[in-house]
Structure 1
Amino acid sequence: MTTVVTGTAGWASGSSQRALTGPPPGTAAWNADRSVGRELPDPASASPAEVAAFFGTLSGREKQGLARRHPLVVGNLDGAPVSLRYRANAQALRGTVFDRFAGAGRQILAFDPRGRGQIAEVYGDLERARKLSVIVPGADIDAGTFDRKSDRYGTPTGMATSLRAATGDRTAVVAWAGYTTPVGVGLDAASGDLAEAGAVRLTRLTRGLAAVGAPKPSLFCHSYGSVVCGLAARQVNASDIVVLGSPGLRADSAAGLRTDARLWAAKDATDWISKVPHVQLLGLGHGADPAEPGFGARRVPAERAKGHTGYFAPGTDSLQTFATIAQGEAR
Structure 2
Amino acid sequence: MRRYRRTLVAAALMATLVSGTAGWAAGSGQRPVGGPPPGTAAWRHDGSLPDPESATPTQVAAFFRTLSAERQRELAERHSGVVGNLDGAPVQLRYRANRLAIAKDPRYQRLATGDRQIIAFDPRGRGTVAEVYGDLLTARHVSVVVPGSDIDARTYDRSKDPYGTPAGMATSLRTATHGRTAVVAWAGYTTPVGVGLDAATGELAEAGAARLARFTGGLTAVGVAAPALFCHSYGSVVCGLAASEVAARDIVVLGSPGMRADSVGALRTDARVWAAKDPSDWISKVPNVEFLGLGHGADPAGKDFGARRVPARTAHGHTGYFAPGTDSLRAFAAIATGGTDGDVR
User: Counterpart of 1:52?
Assistant: 61
User: Counterpart of 1:119?
Assistant: 129
| Amino acid aligned to 1:269 | P
The Cα of 1:104 is off from its aligned counterpart by 2.4
| Amino acid aligned to 2:55 | A
Give 1:52-201 correspondences, 5 Å limit.
52-96=61-105, 97-201=107-211
SS of the residue 1:279 aligns to: coil
The Cα of 1:329 is off from its aligned counterpart by 1.4
The Cα of 1:4 is off from its aligned counterpart by 3.9
Cα distance, 1:157–1:22 mapped onto 2, change above 3 Å? same
User: Counterpart of 1:261?
Assistant: 271
Does the alignment pair 1:294 with 2:307?
A: no
Q: d(CA) in 2 for partners of 1:104 and 1:65?
A: 19
Q: d(CA) in 2 for partners of 1:46 and 1:236?
A: 17
| Amino acid aligned to 1:91 | L
Q: Deviations over 1:233-285 (max 9, x none)?
A: 01111000000000000011111111100000000010000010001011110
Does the alignment pair 1:43 with 2:52?
A: yes
Q: d(CA) in 2 for partners of 1:10 and 1:321?
A: 38
Q: CA RMSD in A?
A: 1.3
User: Counterpart of 1:27?
Assistant: 40
- Output the TM-score relative to the length of structure 1: 0.97
Does the alignment pair 1:234 with 2:244?
A: yes
Aligned length: 327
| Amino acid aligned to 2:69 | G
| Amino acid aligned to 1:309 | T
| Amino acid aligned to 1:19 | P
Cα distance, 1:168–1:11 mapped onto 2, change above 3 Å? farther
Question: What's the % identity of the aligned pairs?
Answer: 68
- State whether residues 8 and 277 of structure 1, in contact with CA within 8 Å, keep that contact through their aligned partners in structure 2: no
The Cα of 1:91 is off from its aligned counterpart by 0.4
User: Counterpart of 1:278?
Assistant: 288
Cα distance, 1:282–1:87 mapped onto 2, change above 3 Å? same
- State whether residues 39 and 82 of structure 2, in contact with CA within 8 Å, keep that contact through their aligned partners in structure 1: yes
- State whether residues 80 and 101 of structure 2, in contact with CA within 8 Å, keep that contact through their aligned partners in structure 1: yes
Unaligned runs of 5+ in 2: 1-7
Q: d(CA) in 2 for partners of 1:11 and 1:53?
A: 51
Q: Deviations over 1:9-64 (max 9, x none)?
A: 89654420011111101001001102xxxx10000100000000000000011000
- State whether residues 9 and 277 of structure 1, in contact with CA within 8 Å, keep that contact through their aligned partners in structure 2: no
Unaligned runs of 5+ in 1: none
| Amino acid aligned to 1:144 | R
| Amino acid aligned to 2:215 | L
Q: d(CA) in 2 for partners of 1:6 and 1:146?
A: 30
| More helix, by proportion | 2
User: Counterpart of 2:253?
Assistant: 243
Q: d(CA) in 2 for partners of 1:215 and 1:303?
A: 31
